[in-house]
Amino acid sequence: MKRLAIGLLAVAILGFSVFWWLTIPKAIDSTVKDWISKSGDPILGETIFWAGGCASCHAVKGAKGKDKLKLGGNHSLVTPVGTFNVPNISPDRENGIGAWSVEDFANAMLHGTSPDGKHYYPAFPYTSYSSMNYDDVKHLWTYIQTLEPVKTQNKPHDLTFPFNISRGLGLWKLAFKEYQPVLNVGNTDNFLQRGQYLVETLGHCGECHTPRASLGYGGGNTSRWLSGGPAPEGNGKIPNITPHETGIGSWSEADIVYYLESGFTPDFDSVGGSMTSVQENMAKLPKSDLEAVAKYLKTIPAVALN
């Protein structure tokens, strides 16, 4: 019995050690840190800010106008696994990210790793942002530093077991975080590449419009890319935006651009729900970016609404 107990203890220690090693939060590679010394461009950063939808989550819910630039967070996302409380990402040094370095910001955006070396939950869409290029990370960081500090204090998430064990997210990241382009657009069409980058990465459209694998808790099921799925907060469905007849197959590229500019569909309906904020953000992008998004959405495979 003593040998058995020792053997079981050894197996338990080995298993825990392997788990701990596999779930170590990752950081940016030291070989790419030379970009940190480069100057960011806040004008370019503002475009990335709107394309990335930062205000939709981190401004006060329902914020309009200049209030969209007050990134105090603190509204709640109620999901089947518990409540995620959106953090303050304003330049406030005490409650926001004003005390972070640009490297801290890059680790959060590209790896979902906090400055104190912990995993962020993928309610923060770093799985999409992970393919951002370093210059865009720097531009976005520079722009956010120009905004008004907000002193709203952060609230901890309130999650059910086992989702409240954040270390286990290291295993989730191993299974689902690695970004692979969904559409093979080649390298000859810069316009289509821009559309892909805006949809797949900055806009993180797949986070809502693509159903999730593994009982709804995995990464996006790319075989059903942008074909719609359950709303993240559990109420209703997110629509199909593929070129299928159950999606936006009847829309032209011009219709898509007009919708993103104005919030009106080709049949004179208007945007609603959480998409209202997304559309308002997208309307701030250059028209060429909206045209690139439209081209990408008309290029992807048509998938029927499930």
Residues 36/139, Cβ–Cβ less than 8 Å = no
Place of tokens 């825990």: 16
pLDDT of residue 8: 60
pLDDT of residue 13: 61
pLDDT of residue 195: 95
Low-confidence ranges of the chain (pLDDT < 50): none
pLDDT of residue 16: 52
Gap between the Cα atoms of 76 and 74, Å rounded: 6
Domain ranges of the chain: 26-176, 190-299
pLDDT of residue 104: 94
Helix (H, G, I), strand (E, B) or coil at 248: coil
Non-local CB neighbours of 112 within 8 Å, separated by 6+ positions = 25, 119, 120, 122, 124, 126, 127, 130, 169, 173, 177
Residue 185 tokens read as 């657009």
pLDDT of residue 275: 85
Residue 154 tokens read as 């952060």
Helix (H, G, I), strand (E, B) or coil at 4: helix
**List of long-range contacts for 25-32, beta carbons under 8 Å, 24+ apart:** 25/111, 25/112, 25/113, 25/114, 25/117, 25/118, 25/119, 25/170, 26/107, 26/111, 26/113, 26/173, 27/103, 27/107, 27/111, 27/113, 28/103, 28/106, 28/107, 28/110, 28/111, 32/134
Q: At residue 289, what are phi and psi to the nearest 5 degrees?
A: -70, -40
39-93 tens-digit pLDDT: 889 999 999 999 999 999 898 877 888 889 999 988 888 877 888 899 999 999 9
pLDDT of residue 32: 72
Gap between the Cα atoms of 243 and 252, Å rounded: 10
pLDDT of residue 202: 95
pLDDT of residue 206: 87
Q: Where are the beta strands (DSSP E) in 186-242?
A: 229-230, 237-238
pLDDT of residue 162: 75
Q: How far apart are the first and last CA of the chain?
A: 55
164-199 tens-digit pLDDT: 778 778 877 877 766 678 888 777 789 999 999 999
Architecture of the domain made up of 190-299:
Orthogonal Bundle (1.10)
